[in-house]
A and B are shown apart, each in its own frame.
Chain A
Amino acid sequence: MSGISYSEILKLVAPEMLVSLAALAVLAIDLLVMREAPQRYRFWTGAAFAGLGCGLAIAWLLAMNPPPHSMSAGLSLLQGTYADDVLVRLVKVALLVMTLFTLAISMESNFTDHIGEYLALILLATVGMMFLVSSENLLMVFISLELTSLSLYILTAFNKRNVESAEAALKYFLFGGMSAAFTLFGLSLVYGLAGSIQFSEIYSKLHAAKIDTLLLAAIVMTVIGFGFKIAAVPFHLWAPDAYQGAPTPSAAFIASGSKVASFFIFAKLMMQAFAGAEGNGAWRHFTPGWLPVVATVAACSMLLGNLAAIVQGNVKRLLAYSAIAHAGYALLGLLSNSQQGMSSLIYYIVTYGLTVLGAFGVVAIVEERTGDASISSFAGLGRRQPLLGLCMMVFMLSLAGIPPLAGFFGKFYLFTAAIGAGKDMGMLWLVIFAIAMSAVSLYYYLQVLKQIYVVPAVEDSRPIVVPVSSRIILSLLALVVVVLGCAPELLLGRLITAIKLASHQ
């Protein structure tokens, strides 16, 4: 698009710039000024600057909403390298909020001395995610994915005193590298078929094309790449180890922000670029396309995630398997392949991200105080630290989908969208399966709550001391989960309007 000047482009990417600058600033300050200061101060100062960057970016995004270029419908620069519309902005705000919470729950931890690097990497991963959600171009998608993934690999390995952390990072990295190769291969096939890397042009080339083996291979390869990012079966093998071995705040970040960004771009790619190549995912009426592929992945994720979570003895591992299951549910939104499906997907994954951030926040504290994150170290938490117990109850019940928490409405809305999808209620089988599986999931979430409220603490029943800042953050997250559950319209209304506007471009 030619009519746009450099200053306008700068205005558009200002949020990304602000976060990148914050990353540099945090690095510089920590290395140059705070080197000798006590660890706590370094973390606080660094996080304050990082938070400032994110905060400014959020403020910019909100103040400039609707976007300044008089096109609330959105615009797409340089062959879709940088797309911008109301919906993208909304998702970016959600990403930044999750980064802020990640920063907040890492402030009290002490697994590393390299605080500047740690915070800078979180911010860089965030930049990657922000670019990811605003790309409508295969190349840009890949570059942003890599920026995000590489930062996350390092974040996983950050606990140098722990062998598990290194092992987890290596597994994550190897799987990631493999899946990146698949993605790249798939994307190159798409380029070969469509002759373009821009979503809209791919659509116009492919929507009428017959679905042949090559296109199907391209679709499957692409799904593999994203399946890895969202930890869906059978590309999930890294997740349990990475979640367990990574420093808890890193795991929280992988589970929240990274999920949101990947899901969003995955859905966008499938619904926009591959529209017309859906096929049919209805039970016993499979016809080739991406719907049956994704439907199979979703069903497997729900099954394996939920069943494997039941036998876990470590809460971080349990959360990893539950994340796999939740990826399965969220894919229902994608399978709806409609505007409503998109809004249900984003609502679900954003509320899931916030919930899981809170859950990891609690786990981080318990792990620090009791030495490990096994399920039995939560015994008697309700007595030892009532506030923490209460917050964990909110998070667990929301993940299980108990009303009136955000997780319940998220699921309800997902199922509503999926029931009406396609003709002949084709996704009915998957919805029934999803509901059955979420009933199963109640079991393992309740196991955690049973430890917290019913089982008395074994060795150490002294109260757990929790810093005020952590209390505030966790209560805030719990409050958000409750509020979004009771008044989903707060987020949903915005989402639906944004999606309507964005689809008019």
Chain B
Amino acid sequence: MNSLPILSILTIVPLIGAVMLIGLDSQSKRLARGLGLAFSLAGLALAAWLWKAFDGNSPDLQFVERHAWIPSIGAEYFVGVDGLGLLMVLLTALVTPIAMLASWRIEDKPQIYFSMMLLLQAGLFGTFTALNFFHWFIFWELSLVPAFFLIKLWGGPNRSAAATQFFVYTMVGSVAMLLSFLAIYWAVGTFDFIQLAEKGHNGDLASILNVKLGWYNLSRNQLPLIIFAGIFLGFAVKVPLIPFHTWLPMTYAEAPTGTTMMLTGVMSKMGVYGFIRILMPLFPEQMRMILTPLLWLAVATIVFSACAAFAQKDLKRVFAYSSINHLGYCMLGIFAFVKFTGSEPPWSTEKAAVLNGVMLQMFNHGLTAPILFCFIGFLEQRSGGLRGLDQFGGLRKVAPVFCGLMGVSIFASLGLPGLNGFIGEFLIFKGAFPLVTWATALSVIGLLVTAIFLLTVIQRVFNGPLNGKWASLADLSWRERLIVLPATALMFLVGIYPQLLIGKINTTVMQMVDQLKF
């Protein structure tokens, strides 16, 4: 369709930037920041062009590049995007420059900081476009390295512990996933996601695994289930699903603001993306087999994280738990989506609604959550590092613009109609309710608690009597307003006109619904 290898260029541009920056002299801080931003904006421009050129009416993979890479082990250079990949690429491209602007004040080796940010961006672009396991896994791991350094070198007081915890957790997940994929490769002889997905859809994958691999007299169902569990672990840690979430609050709280924005905005989406791109097509049967426990996990993720957020005193931790909560809805949606319903036509509407909702939720959370952390970053700068829920109060009087804009983001996160958060959650609940009624009903508790703790934040921080300590707190500067205003505008835009996104993803969603029927 297009001879220009646009997806390769998209991945290489930030890589070039990263290499250039690391070679910079430590004195030229302004140059480092400028270059970092320029490269991330170039990524945004490319993603925007991609968005425009993408044909939303075609269910096929687009901008495909396919080259033999290491034929000996079936590794190909195979990239392409469908609606889901496109949405994630756009999200990455949007969040990175904002996160960089939010990290502008970093004085300690900014050239390395911005280089790591670009490396992270490249890793994410690669992860969201690669369609061969070998290729994809390289980028999956590659994105882990800069994230580790960003936390370890520029984080808060407990950064070392947080970075190690983050790294070890994610690594364990990756290793489990790697082993499962090596086993799949031995059985099937391919790393190709598309081919594997076909085998998964018609149920061949499980039988091939059973024939080719034996493992100490496991029964027919157990072996594929174990392999499924390995991959599941990799993604569940990344999302994260409760009980695999324990790394997250500390990591989000300790990471520097810009990095937390990337972590919550984009990196958490890698897990959800993995669920939709890999786990759902490859192992639908296995997911169905343990659907009830999975749904319990999703419900627990939604309800417990909301309650945990309610109990936090540190604003960053409040929003860290809130982030788990919001991704819990995605998990609920995905598990509802795979529920076996036969091929009766009415269900496909529900399923399409759910999956559309999940993808929208991924994008919306990816937009809202980083902005919230960005606001907390602004607040920390003014308060000298304080960010306790009870340490402020009445800020509305001294910093009306700050409170107003942050209020918009909080309401977007809460799912107020008219803002972006509403539409995704609405579609998920609308579709999931008839499919898995009990789980959806229980999850509504999560919605309620979310509303309570978010309103509590507004009440404690913005309203009430003004804490005398902050009487001279500066409102947002023009530069800061410029950072958050475009994102805020986008929240309104998506909230009022979600078709903007749905137009690009709906065909992909419909295809996924079709494939999962059998």
Contact = CB atoms under 8 A, between A and B. Distances in A.
Contacts of A403: 138, 141-142
Nearest to B217: A424
12 contacts: A383-B26, A416-B73, A419-B186, A423-B214, A425-B215, A435-B175, A439-B175, A454-B109, A454-B153, A489-B68, A489-B71, A493-B71
The DSSP consensus for interface residues of chain A is helix
Given A404-B138, A425-B215, A489 B183 contact: no
- Range, interface on chain B: 20 to 34
Contacts of B112: 453
Contacts of B182: 415-416, 419-420, 431
A139 interface: no
Interface of B: 23, 26, 68-73, 109, 112, 134, 138, 141-142, 145, 153, 168, 171, 175, 178-179, 182-183, 185-186, 213-216
A488 interface: yes
Interface string A46-57: 000000000000
Question: Which of A420, A428, A496 has the most CB atoms of chain B within a 10 A radius of its CB?
Answer: A420
Contacts of B216: 424
Contacts of A428: 179
A261 to B, nearest CB: 24
A316 to B, nearest CB: 26
Interface string A117-143: 000000000000000000000000000
Given A419-B186, A424-B215, A453-B112, A436 B71 contact: no
A408 B142 CA distance: 11
A408 B23 contact: no
B70 A492 contact: yes
B179 A489 contact: no
Nearest to B74: A416
B145 A402 contact: yes
Given A435-B175, A454-B153, A386 B23 contact: yes
Nearest to A412: B134
A80 B464 CA distance: 91
Contacts, number: 64
Contacts of A487: 69-70
A341 B43 CA distance: 41
A360 interface: no
B179 A431 contact: yes
A351 to B, nearest CB: 14
A453 B26 CA distance: 11
A424 B153 CA distance: 44
Given A419-B179, A435-B179, A493-B71, 4 more contacts: A404-B142, A424-B214, A431-B179, A487-B70
Given A412-B134, A424-B214, A489 B72 contact: yes
Interface in A372-413: 383, 386, 390, 402-404, 408-409, 412-413
A466 interface: no
Contacts of B69: 487, 489
Nearest to B176: A432
A121 to B, nearest CB: 38
Given A425-B213, A431-B179, A453-B112, A420 B72 contact: no
In order of increasing CB-CB distance, the 3 nearest A-B pairs are A403-B138, A420-B186, A419-B182
Question: Which of B68, B112, B145 has the most CB atoms of chain A within a 10 A radius of its CB?
Answer: B145
Given A432-B179, A439-B171, A493 B72 contact: yes
Contacts of A489: 68-72
Contacts of A386: 23
A47 B109 CA distance: 43
B73 A413 contact: yes
B472 to A, nearest CB: 37
Given A402-B145, A403-B141, A425-B183, A496 B23 contact: no
A436 B175 contact: yes
A178 B213 CA distance: 43
B70 A488 contact: yes
B207 to A, nearest CB: 18
Contact of B175 (A402, A419, A432): A432
Contacts of B214: 423-424
